[in-house]
């Protein structure tokens, strides 16, 4: 488990990388890291490209603010993952273009919302759940995420965007990147007779890469 100083350093580095690569815009994203004493989370209305380590929100294990600016209003979403996935240490929420676009379309299977064209989404996150729309910061949205988080480290919130949890900061960020790329593929391949991975393919990947 990281200490607060190390968590701040890692959050700053990954947030800046995410911003510089155009995966989030403005002040729309939020990220948290579990520490040995609580959490570090990006403040409300903060931009990933211009974070200040001294202003990052430091919370205790009860979610109370210890130092820094007011935490993101979507901390309840993060807490839903931490409560359901106690071994996870990082949660990331973006409004990345393709995953957010997919969140606005009808979905035939809310337990498997993103087509599996390549192995890597299955290897990193497994099936992606889709939860209904609720306003940002609404307790009902956190409750909806809580209901699926135990079985889905990757979730898309309808008309809102993706949120991902991981055992490490790296696995969380890389999982989010794979989710965005998979959603991009879904749009690029729309209208084409593309081959999906079979159920046997997916079962084999899950057997080989679960808990990796």
Query: Any idea which residues carry the catalytic annotation?
Result: 74, 120
Residue 95: Cβ within 10 Å count: 16
- Beginning with the edge strand found earlier in the chain, give each strand of the sheet holding 30-34 in spatial order: 65-67, 57-60, 38-41, 30-34, 90-93, 161-166, 154-157, 129-131
Question: What does the alpha-carbon distance between residue 146 and residue 125 come to, in Å, rounded to a whole number?
Answer: 16
Q: What is the DSSP letter of 119?
A: H
Tokens matching residue 184:
């991009």
């Amino acid at each position: 488990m990281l200490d607060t100083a190390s968590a701040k350093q890692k959050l700053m580095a990954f947030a800046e990388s995410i911003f510089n690569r155009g995966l989030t815009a403005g002040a729309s994203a939020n990220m948290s890291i579990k520490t040995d004493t609580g959490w570090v989370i990006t403040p409300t209305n903060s931009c990933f490209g211009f974070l200040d380590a001294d202003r990052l929100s430091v919370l205790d294990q009860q979610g109370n603010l210890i130092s820094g600016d007011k935490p993101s209003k979507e901390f309840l979403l993060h807490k839903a993952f931490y409560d359901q996935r106690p071994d996870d240490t990082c949660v990331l929420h973006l409004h990345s273009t393709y995953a957010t676009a997919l969140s606005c379309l009808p979905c035939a299977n809310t337990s498997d919302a993103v087509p599996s064209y390549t192995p890597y989404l299955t290897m990193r996150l497994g099936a992606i759940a889709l939860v209904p729309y609720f306003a940002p910061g609404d307790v009902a949205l956190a409750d909806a995420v809580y209901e699926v988080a135990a079985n889905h480290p990757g979730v898309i919130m309808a008309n809102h965007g993706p949120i991902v949890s991981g055992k490490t900061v790296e696995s969380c960020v890389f999982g989010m990147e794979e989710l965005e790329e998979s959603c991009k593929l879904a749009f690029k391949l729309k209208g084409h007779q593309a081959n999906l991975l079979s159920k046997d393919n997916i079962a084999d990947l899950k057997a080989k890469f679960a808990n990796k």
